[in-house]
Structure 1
């Protein structure tokens, strides 16, 4: 089937929301580079960067209103709420190890996977009246989105800055414990104290990175990403066979194989 204009608009809106969130993230993190280029906050300063992110969001809102479908508006505005809630979750941490991992996955969903899940759902709503298809699309996007972020967290430890387009160990420097760190903590319990103080003492970042690379944290996080991709594949295979379905299956492999 041909892609509808409204479905194409959803893709554009999703990209605009994503871009705005990156601009705002770079301000919050005081980041210097993004995808190998200077961030807007480095070029224009924080105030103009915040306004630029706000402008992109406002343009996305106008485009969303033009679709003229209240269900789609509800689905995609949920993404913006999740992004903000995810940012608040990122500011906190949990003392209990099990709660900490659940907290990490919830934050990952809200900051990354919600955008993909709800965008997939919105496109399916515009193309098909069956609620079962909408749920399949949502679950596919959710699982792909979580896997994407898990691999992103792995690359923070395994890729070089020039190739990645942003500084490595960036999350540790921001005080964030991602999947590889949380898995490594199970082998090196002394990391618990570093996690709770958000790697704020001199030498914490270097020691934590060393522990991660000595542990199976990277491998365990990669394995978890594989599980999420397998779940996404199971969901999308519930749809009837088509070239589009197989392209979405292939996309899960691209997520796992990416190196930047």
Structure 2
């Protein structure tokens, strides 16, 4: 199996999910309806729902995905999209997934309300799963999002930020939802408690690797892959793994960031310095470490040779690395 074929394992279910998302968040107010339709028509990687479905298929009896699994996949994408709407307002990002952001189309008030509405809708559908353990697990994610944003806001342009702080922030902003989605899927499959926790750990490491690679792409990636301008995080003072690794080698980069890119050419210069340092390589190595940690948690695919979804979960790390 090639990494790009992973999503094909659950392709039919993802196509149904894409159709369901817009109807699930249908709103009475035309502005909210238009905002929601705009968000979901933009697409995206659908990584989180794909993980829910892959975990479901690899852990369920006869590799069947239940209606509850499919609903959890939809909920995970709604929560993720709601967080992006709020992120775009905070970061003043004008494009996302290659299209204009909600606040750039309307205004900040509409964008915040649209994000709140999506969080509310996800909570309602989550409650209707009638599984208290899943509700508790996924609900904690929304708290984590807020924690991550507060942490990021406090440490903007802070060159004394540690790698531990970066990993913690990345967990709250990205890995928490991925970890909880994997665990929630395992819960719906009625796995024993220890196995549920193992899928949580798998999702946590996959989520951290995904965020680190995304942060590398912010420096080197094309606008097409990112769906937003290159260097957006850097410009906003969000210091990520490649930047933190590069800072230890470059007093000039430290000076530029500490002065918050006071000159028009500073962003370009900072990116050049990061390219010339070992920061990008060290960041990729860190992502690979988390992918290896995730793979050690999964059951041995050789012991379950016919489980295509399990094989897909093992290949996901390679898919993430191939985004660079």
Into which bin does the TM-score normalised by the smaller protein fall? Answer: over 0.9
Q: Which residue of 1 aligns with 2:118?
A: 56
Aligned mate of 2:202, from 128, 140, 149: 140
C-alpha distance in structure 2 between counterparts of 1:41 and 1:183, whole Å: 33
Number of the residue aligned with 1:250:
315
Counterpart Cα distance in 2 of 1:238 and 1:111: 30
Offset, 1:205: 2.4
Cα distance in structure 2, aligned partners of 1:162 and 1:3 = 33
Q: Secondary structure at the match of 1:166?
A: coil
Tell me, in whole angstroms, the C-alpha distance in 2 between the residues paired with 1:119 and 1:247. Answer: 16
Matched-pair contact (CA < 8 Å) for 1:10–1:64: yes
- Structure 1 residues 185-216: Cα deviation after superposition (integer angstroms, max 9, x where no partner): 1111343344445x242244233212101101
TM-score, normalised via structure 1 length:
0.93
Q: 1:237 offset after TM fit, Å?
A: 3.0
Shift of 1:258: 1.6
Could you tell me how far 1:8 is from its partner in structure 2?
1.4
- TM-superposition CA deviations, 1:92-127 (whole Å, max 9, x none): 229685x52111110000000000001100110111
SS of 2:317 mapped into structure 1 = helix
Higher relative contact order (CA 8 A, sep 6+): 2
Q: Give yes or no for contact 1:177–1:195 (8 Å, CA) kept in 2.
A: no
Alpha-carbon distance change, 34 to 44 in structure 1, aligned in 2, over 3 angstroms: same
- For the pair 1:25 / 2:90, whether they are aligned, the reply is no
Q: 2:171 aligns with which of 95, 109, 133?
A: 109
Aligned length: 257
Aligned counterparts, 1:200-215, within 5 A:
200-202=261-263, 203-215=265-277
Aligned CA distance change for structure 1 residues 151 and 131 (closer, same or farther; 3 Å): same
Unaligned runs of 5+ in 2: 1-62
Distance 1:6 1:233 in 2: 26
Deviation at residue 135 of structure 1 after TM alignment? 1.3
Residues 1:163 and 1:131: Cα distance change in structure 2 (over 3 Å): closer
1:9 aligns with 2:71: yes
Select between 238-247 and 18-27 the one with higher mean Cα deviation.
Answer: 238-247
List runs of 5+ in structure 1 lacking aligned partners.
none
What are the equivalent positions in structure 2 for 1:69-218 lying under 5 Å apart? 69-93=131-155, 97=160, 100-197=162-259, 199-202=260-263, 203-218=265-280
Superposition RMSD in Å = 1.8
- Distance in 1 (CA, whole Å) between partners of 2:309 and 2:98 is 32
